[in-house]
């Protein structure tokens, strides 16, 4: 795969795309376009979490003696504790140095680390950080493989990464949040000026009355559903288009949860 990007409404979105999509042979060989930010966040979080697991370090980076092993575990915990203080450029440099390969499968993501470079980094040895780990041949390979239980799911025209263990970081959908904000803005105007109608607000907002009505009905969503959407904890299948197109959204909150995939 190769890095690429697209611009949507002034926002630059990065992707990793299959070569068939680049050279125009996707119809024959197939291809995927994976959101780069989501994939990179999963990989870096996986490595950070690995650094907090002493037994995993014992298995993944065997030391020559107990003193060296203890020192590696202590340094790993220190790196994990101060991870949030690292700049994006520092994390990128480290990832390039120790990550040899990332493979996206149907039900998992495999992160292969250069075991020798990882051990030297934990030992505090300078020299290779910033130099890409590259793709060693099978004969020369000494890799440590970490596995993330995740799958790709198509939502509309986009591919999203769904983490199977429920530990996925919050990733609010800007389009969903936007329609909720507009919905509550309409409600606030109606409450502040009882003489206004939805038709009046629609005209002032430059939208048709039916669209304003569909927006307004979103204010009847259960509070926990609104909170989940704002915090990015909604089902990946729920999009702004689906939410707006569902004109028969039930008033019962339990029915809403089932209809929208929360139950």
Question: Is 10 among the domain residues?
Answer: no
Q: Give the structural domain span for 89.
A: 32-163
Residue 165 · residue 148 · CB < 8 Å: no
* Residue where a domain terminates, one of 163, 191, 222: 163
pLDDT of residue 128: 56
Residue 171 · residue 45 · CB < 8 Å: no
* Residue where a domain terminates, one of 163, 184, 200: 163
Q: Which residues, 6+ apart, have CB-to-CB distance to 124 below 8 Å?
A: 75
The answer to whether residues 118 and 63 belong to one domain is yes
* Residue where a domain terminates, one of 139, 163, 187: 163
Question: Is 169 among the domain residues?
Answer: no
Q: What domain count does the chain have?
A: 2
Beta bridge partners of residue 160, listed in sequence order: 153
Residue 4 · residue 22 · CB < 8 Å: yes
Q: Which of 80, 226, 232 is nearest to 162 (CA)?
A: 232
pLDDT of residue 245: 82
pLDDT of residue 170: 56
User: Other C-beta atoms within 10 Å of 112: how many?
Assistant: 19
The answer to whether residues 183 and 74 belong to one domain is no
How many whole angstroms separate alpha carbon 45 and alpha carbon 39?
10
The answer to whether residues 37 and 159 belong to one domain is yes
The answer to whether residues 116 and 204 belong to one domain is no
The answer to whether residues 157 and 211 belong to one domain is no
How many whole angstroms separate alpha carbon 172 and alpha carbon 71?
39
Question: Is 179 among the domain residues?
Answer: yes
Question: Is 38 among the domain residues?
Answer: yes
The answer to whether residues 88 and 156 belong to one domain is yes
The answer to whether residues 180 and 64 belong to one domain is no
Residue ranges of the chain whose pLDDT lies below 50: 138
How many whole angstroms separate alpha carbon 138 and alpha carbon 144?
13
The answer to whether residues 152 and 214 belong to one domain is no
The answer to whether residues 186 and 137 belong to one domain is no
pLDDT of residue 82: 92
The answer to whether residues 147 and 196 belong to one domain is no
pLDDT of residue 50: 94
| Model confidence pLDDT, tens digit, residues 196-242 | 999 999 999 899 999 999 999 999 999 999 999 988 888 877 888 88
The answer to whether residues 41 and 159 belong to one domain is yes
| Model confidence pLDDT, tens digit, residues 92-112 | 888 888 999 998 888 889 999
Question: Is 212 among the domain residues?
Answer: yes
The answer to whether residues 147 and 190 belong to one domain is no
Question: Is 18 among the domain residues?
Answer: no
- pTM to 2 decimal places: 0.62
Question: Is 15 among the domain residues?
Answer: no
How many whole angstroms separate alpha carbon 163 and alpha carbon 148?
8
Q: How far is CA 18 from CA 29, 30, 44, 104, 199, in A?
A: 10, 8, 22, 11, 48
Long-range contacts of 28-37 (CB under 8 A, 24+ apart): 32/1, 32/104, 32/152, 32/159, 33/4, 33/159, 34/1, 34/104, 34/152, 34/159, 34/161, 35/158, 35/159, 35/160, 35/161, 36/3
Question: Is 23 among the domain residues?
Answer: no
């Amino acid at each position: 795969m190769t890095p690429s990007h697209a611009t949507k409404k002034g926002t630059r979105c990065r992707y990793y795309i299959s070569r068939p999509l680049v050279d125009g042979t996707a119809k024959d060989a197939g291809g995927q376009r994976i959101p780069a930010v989501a994939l990179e966040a999963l990989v870096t979080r996986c490595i950070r979490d690995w650094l907090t697991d002493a037994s995993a370090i014992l298995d993944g980076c065997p030391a020559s003696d107990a003193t060296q092993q203890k020192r590696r575990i202590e340094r790993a915990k220190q790196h994990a504790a101060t991870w949030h203080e690292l700049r994006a450029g520092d994390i990128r440099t480290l990832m390039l140095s120790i990550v040899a390969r990332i493979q996206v499968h149907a039900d998992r993501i495999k992160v292969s680390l250069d075991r020798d470079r990882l051990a030297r980094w934990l030992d505090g040895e300078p020299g290779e950080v910033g130099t890409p780990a590259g793709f060693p041949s099978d004969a020369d390979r000494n890799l440590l493989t970490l596995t993330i239980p995740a799958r790709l799911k198509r939502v509309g025209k986009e591919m999203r990464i769904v983490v199977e263990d429920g530990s996925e970081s919050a990733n609010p959908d800007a389009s969903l949040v936007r329609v909720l904000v507009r919905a509550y803005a309409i409600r606030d105007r109606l409450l502040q000026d009882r003489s206004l109608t939805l038709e009046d607000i629609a005209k002032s907002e430059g939208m048709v009355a039916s669209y304003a009505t569909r927006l307004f009905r979103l204010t009847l969503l259960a509070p926990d559903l609104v909170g989940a959407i704002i915090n990015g904890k909604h089902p990946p299948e729920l999009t702004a288009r689906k939410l707006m197109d569902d004109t028969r959204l039930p008033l019962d909150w339990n029915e809403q949860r089932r209809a929208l995939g929360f139950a």
